[in-house]
Structure 1
């Protein structure tokens, strides 16, 4: 029985890029930046604590790595460069957001008030497709039975809801006066 299929490796096919490295860089950059912009503009509300950038990096790296491992890219450098481009853009966007407040506003939007001073902000709720039931679920998760105990509910830039209780505000004002 011939066992060469186990040991014969086409080293050139494995290690020599078959696609121009600049093309891989440009394709990876354009796909990442376009998907990031689309996800940022379309999706604000997210499930769990995973941000858009994290989710996008995970999905794109998984796909790029799969292509490199499965042979759709016929060399490892093709796939590894694409993975590096995706991680690089995630790092660059984080750095730009840290250095430039205008970029940070795009990367992480300001909170959106959903409930304040006894009134639901129906327009904001409608724009994010958030129902009263979803707000009440968050209120209950914080240990409150009704919105009467709540001063403010805001949808944060990362998709999480933050809740400020009425007595938290009073306690904070008391500390400020002391």
Structure 2
């Protein structure tokens, strides 16, 4: 009886994880590297909403730990599969998108990605560039950050450090 209850928690946790992954991917959200207030509120509400879906009536410490262990394990496995499979990685991750090329803004892409003028100006200022026309290349990276390259070799391109670079075995060949 107890084993069936924990198996139920495992299946529920797997289902919630897969649902959340698909929901984030299908709604076009980038990886949650730059959160605004509404994103934080959404995450808090979703975590509260799915808690009972994962553990059901089991509110014990063991039930919560089983659910957390399933989520950590599934996330670990998913990262390993993404590292080894380009197809799977492409299925789950966003592609970098060019926002500015040689000072020319791609308004269609900015609109598609929902990037406001204020957000883009903030990103170029963070990279030490004052005007759009001074931007050689602005790219919305797969992790949700905006990289800026200017034509000025004297400017330090970024104060922001990415969490880590992702390389796969396919990228090393």
TM normalised by structure 1 equals 0.67
- In the aligned structure 1, how far is the partner of 2:145 from the partner of 2:59? 42
Q: Which has the higher helix share?
A: 1
State the secondary structure of the residue aligned to 1:32. Answer: helix
From the superposition, tell whether residues 78 and 21 of structure 1 become closer, same or farther in structure 2 (CA, over 3 Å). same
* Preserved CA contact (<8 Å) 1:60 1:86: no
TM normalised by structure 2 equals 0.69
From the superposition, tell whether residues 22 and 46 of structure 1 become closer, same or farther in structure 2 (CA, over 3 Å). closer
Aligned position for 2:105: 120
Aligned position for 1:154: 139
Deviation of the 1:77 alpha carbon: 2.8
Unaligned runs of 5+ in 1: 1-15, 50-55, 169-178
Q: How big is the alpha-carbon RMSD for the aligned residues of Structure 1 and Structure 2?
A: 3.2
Residue 70 (structure 2) aligned to one of 66, 85, 104:
85
* Preserved CA contact (<8 Å) 2:9 2:66: yes
State the secondary structure of the residue aligned to 2:108. Answer: helix
- In the aligned structure 2, how far is the partner of 1:76 from the partner of 1:27? 17
Give 1 or 2 for the bigger CA radius of gyration. 1
From the superposition, tell whether residues 76 and 134 of structure 1 become closer, same or farther in structure 2 (CA, over 3 Å). closer
Deviation of the 1:25 alpha carbon: 1.2
Aligned position for 2:167: none
* Preserved CA contact (<8 Å) 1:17 1:76: no
* Preserved CA contact (<8 Å) 2:104 2:133: no
Runs of 4+ residues over 3 Å off in structure 1:
16-19
